[in-house]
C-alpha cells in the first residue's frame, strides 16, 4: 500500500471535530479501539492511512480500503474510548506536488 498525504479538504473537517469536547453523543458508535478497528478491517477491509494527535489529546485516524470503496474517520480519547466520526465511499488519496518539479 502506498502512503500518501491526507487530502487538504479533510484537514478543516478534522480540526473542527477534534476541537470539540471528547464526550460523544449517544448517536455515535463507540467502543474499544482494537474491536472497532478489527470490525472495520474485517467487514470493509479498511486499514489506517493517516493519523494525528488533536489538541485535546485524542488520536484522530482515517481508515480506508485499498480499493477506495470505503473510509472511516475515528478518534480515540486519552481514556481509550474510540468513536466513529464519519464514514463514506469513494475515498481518494491526494498527493501534493512541489512547484516546478
Residue 84 lies in a domain: yes
Q: Which residue has the higher pLDDT, 6 or 75?
A: 75
Work out how many domains the chain is built from and give that number.
Answer: 1
Alpha-carbon span 83 to 32, nearest angstrom:
9
Residue 39 lies in a domain: yes
Q: To which residue does cell 482494537 refer? A: 34
Residue 56 lies in a domain: yes
Residues 6+ apart with CB under 8 A from 59: 51, 52, 53, 75, 76
Residue 76 lies in a domain: yes
Q: Which domain range does residue 76 map to? A: 29-88
Residue 69 lies in a domain: yes
Beta bridge partners of 60: 52, 75
pLDDT per position as a tens digit, 12-64: 444 444 444 444 456 679 999 999 999 999 999 999 999 999 999 999 999 99
Contact by Cβ (8 Å): 3, 49: yes
> pTM value?
0.70
Amino acid at each position: 500500500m502506498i502512503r500518501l498525504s491526507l487530502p487538504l479538504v479533510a484537514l478543516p473537517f478534522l480540526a473542527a471535530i477534534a476541537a470539540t469536547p471528547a464526550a460523544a453523543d449517544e448517536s455515535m458508535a463507540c467502543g474499544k479501539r482494537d474491536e472497532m478497528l478489527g470490525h472495520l478491517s474485517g467487514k470493509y477491509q479498511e486499514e489506517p492511512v493517516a493519523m494525528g494527535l488533536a489538541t485535546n489529546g485524542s488520536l484522530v485516524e482515517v481508515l480506508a480500503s485499498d480499493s477506495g470503496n470505503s473510509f472511516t474517520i475515528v478518534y480515540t480519547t486519552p481514556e481509550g474510548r474510540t468513536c466513529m466520526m464519519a464514514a463514506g465511499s469513494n475515498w481518494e488519496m491526494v498527493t501534493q506536488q512541489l512547484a516546478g518539479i
